[in-house]
């Protein structure tokens, strides 16, 4: 074998390819764009960010934040790129979508060990080590071949993306900048002092307050708006992490007020009181002229999105540059097929990575690509692969995710990074913040003591072989 083949130029595929290249292994990376686009992709670049621009919290007391820190320490190639093109988002890591995909594309295409081939593969190559990272929107022809290979029916769920609007079209006489609790007027704060502070504030979010009447009108129109119909034969399974706003709303009139539209931590400049509900807008690009509506993933028809979302105070004249979309995500029954290195149990020449494995989220996809990439490198270079493959400890988030997708489970469904999949602490701690901090400390200690040197030595070994 002269190279490793990676199918799919998304986040997982790019991370896997770069990890292989770092170990001086030649990679052929197949990406079907621009010859063929999925229903959710529009950009020719690699590593296109679709659903949201948020990579979630940076705090290590958040499981996704901890996963990012693990990946930073271990030498992920994509997380530092995300850090370099971040936009204001409070404690979260949000990226400029265009710049992120552009930088990843340049890094991959300029790498001497990676050959990017813009072509749709309809077969899984034989006689090669292959990483299948085609994502949840795998083309139909290849999807059928994957089903034949795995011997299992495909599983699927639906998720959705939020619309994006131009900042200049937001009515800033109603909207205000500010992060939750930081914008709120303090009990002992003079009104004029508070107004001056708010007027000079540049928070991570633009906030749109709603009174009860405005909210209830918006709610009624939302739950009765027309949606894009799905085919009758398609079972509608909705992933909770990307729940369409209109479906969430139908659970009860106050559901949104306790979810994406919660008003806690804000004061309405018009009244001096807490608003009844608050819609938040998060910066979508570095320039700061585009904002996405936080939590507004939707399957409404485009005309309905314009009509209903324009009812929100401050968005009456909003210019929508991109409407929300809903799409079907396909994944394999990994618990029956893969081990904890994302390697097929019955054919160790084939790895899977990304959301097709049942990990859900951008960082989670990068994590799976990282693991598949370094273990594919082990398989490529070392004779005793089973002995030398790298399995991450379940006390780390990267290891817990890998264990989750590889442990037999009759009710297997996509999973985000969360502390619930990690082993419990030996001591019973009720305070969640303290508990999560201790779990984070445990994880990072494992990463630093057991894995950082191991991976660095692997790379150094490659260089020594190459130049001695």
What would the pLDDT profile of 328-387 be if each residue is shown by its tens digit? 677 888 999 999 999 999 999 999 999 999 898 899 999 999 999 999 999 999 888 888
Do residues 288 and 235 make contact, with C-beta atoms less than 8 angstroms apart? no
Q: In what order do the strands lie in the sheet with 164-166?
A: 176-177, 205-210, 277-283, 290-293, 164-166, 320-322
Contact (Cβ atoms closer than 8 angstroms) between residue 109 and residue 116: yes
Give exposure, 48-80, as e/b (b: 16+ Cβ within 10 Å): bbbbbbbbbbbbbbbbbbbbbbbbeebbbbbbe
pLDDT at 240 over 60: no
pLDDT of 142: 86
pLDDT of res. 155: 61
Higher pLDDT, 463 or 34: 34
String of b and e for 288-322 (b: at least 16 CB within 10 Å)?
A: eebbbbbbbbbbbbeebbbebbebbbbbeebebee
Conformation bin of residue 178: beta by default, left when phi > 0, alpha when psi is -120 to 50: left
Locate 78 and state its tokens. Answer: 């994509």
pLDDT for res 324: 85
Q: Is 358 helix (H, G, I), strand (E, B) or coil?
A: coil
The verdict on pTM exceeding 0.85 is no
Backbone angles phi, psi at 113, to 5 degrees: -95, -5
Token duo for residue 355? 């959301």
DSSP 71: H
In terms of phi and psi (left: phi > 0; alpha: psi -120 to 50; beta: otherwise), the region of 72 is alpha
Longest dimension (CA), the chain: 75
Strand intervals (E) in 241-310: 277-283, 290-293
Contact in structure between 169 and 318 (CB atoms under 8 Å): yes
- What pLDDT, on a 0 to 100 scale, did the predictor assign at position 234? 40
Q: In percent, how much of the chain has pLDDT > 70? A: 90
Structural domains of the chain ordered from first start: 4-155+331-467 (3.50.50.60), 164-324 (2.40.30)
Phi, psi of 236 (to 5 degrees): -90, 100
Q: CB within 8 A of 238, min separation 6: which ones? A: 157, 158, 159, 244, 247
> Do 91 and 59 meet the contact criterion of CB atoms below 8 Å apart?
yes
**pLDDT, tens digit, 9 for 90 and up, residues 21-64:** 999 999 999 999 887 766 656 788 999 998 778 899 999 999 99
- Please state the φ and ψ torsions of residue 32, each to the nearest 5 degrees: -75, -20
């Amino acid at each position: 074998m002269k190279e490793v083949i990676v199918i799919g130029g998304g986040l997982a595929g790019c991370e896997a390819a770069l990890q292989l290249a770092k170990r001086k292994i030649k990679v052929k990376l197949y990406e079907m764009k621009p010859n063929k686009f999925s229903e959710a992709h529009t950009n020719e670049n690699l590593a296109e960010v679709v659903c949201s621009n948020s990579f979630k919290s940076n705090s290590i007391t958040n499981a996704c934040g901890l996963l990012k820190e693990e990946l930073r320490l271990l030498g992920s190639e994509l997380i530092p790129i995300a850090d370099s093109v971040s936009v204001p988002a409070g404690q979260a890591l949000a990226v400029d979508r265009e710049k992120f995909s552009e930088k990843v594309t340049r890094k991959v295409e300029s790498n001497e060990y990676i050959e990017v081939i813009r072509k749709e593969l309809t077969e899984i190559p034989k006689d090669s080590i292959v990483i299948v990272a085609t994502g949840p929107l795998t083309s139909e022809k290849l999807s059928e071949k994957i089903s034949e290979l795995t011997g299992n029916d495909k599983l699927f769920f639906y998720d959705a993306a939020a619309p994006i609007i131009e900042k200049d079209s937001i009515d800033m006489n109603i909207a205000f900048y500010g992060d939750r609790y930081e914008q709120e007027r303090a009990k002992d704060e003079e009104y004029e002092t508070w107004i001056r502070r708010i007027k000079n504030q540049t928070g991570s979010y633009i906030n749109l307050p709603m009174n009860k009447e405005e909210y209830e009108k918006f709610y009624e129109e939302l739950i009765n708006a027309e949606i894009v119909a799905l085919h009758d034969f398609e079972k509608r399974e909705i992933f909770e992490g990307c729940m369409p706003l209109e479906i969430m709303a139908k659970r009860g009139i106050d559901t949104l007020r306790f979810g994406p539209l919660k008003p806690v931590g804000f004061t309405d400049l018009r009244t001096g009181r807490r608003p009844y509900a608050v819609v938040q807008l998060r910066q979508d690009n570095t320039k700061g002229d585009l904002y996405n509506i936080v939590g507004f993933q939707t399957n409404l028809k485009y005309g309905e999105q314009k009509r209903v979302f324009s009812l929100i105070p401050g968005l009456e004249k909003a210019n929508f540059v991109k409407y929300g979309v809903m799409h079907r995500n396909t994944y394999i029954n990994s618990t029956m097929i893969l081990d904890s290195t994302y390697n097929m149990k019955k054919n160790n020449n084939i790895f899977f990575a990304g959301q097709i494995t049942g990990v859900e989220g951008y960082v989670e996809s990068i994590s799976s690509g990282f693991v598949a990439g370094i273990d594919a490198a082990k398989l490529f270079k070392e004779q005793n692969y089973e002995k030398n493959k790298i399995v991450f400890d379940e006390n780390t988030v990267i290891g817990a995710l890998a264990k989750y997708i590889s442990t037999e489970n009759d009710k297997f469904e996509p999973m985000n990074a969360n502390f619930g999949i990690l082993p419990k602490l030996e001591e019973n701690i009720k305070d969640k913040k303290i508990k999560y901090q201790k779990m984070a400390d445990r994880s990072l200690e494992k990463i630093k003591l057991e894995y950082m040197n191991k991976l660095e030595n692997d790379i150094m070994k490659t260089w020594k072989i190459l130049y001695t």
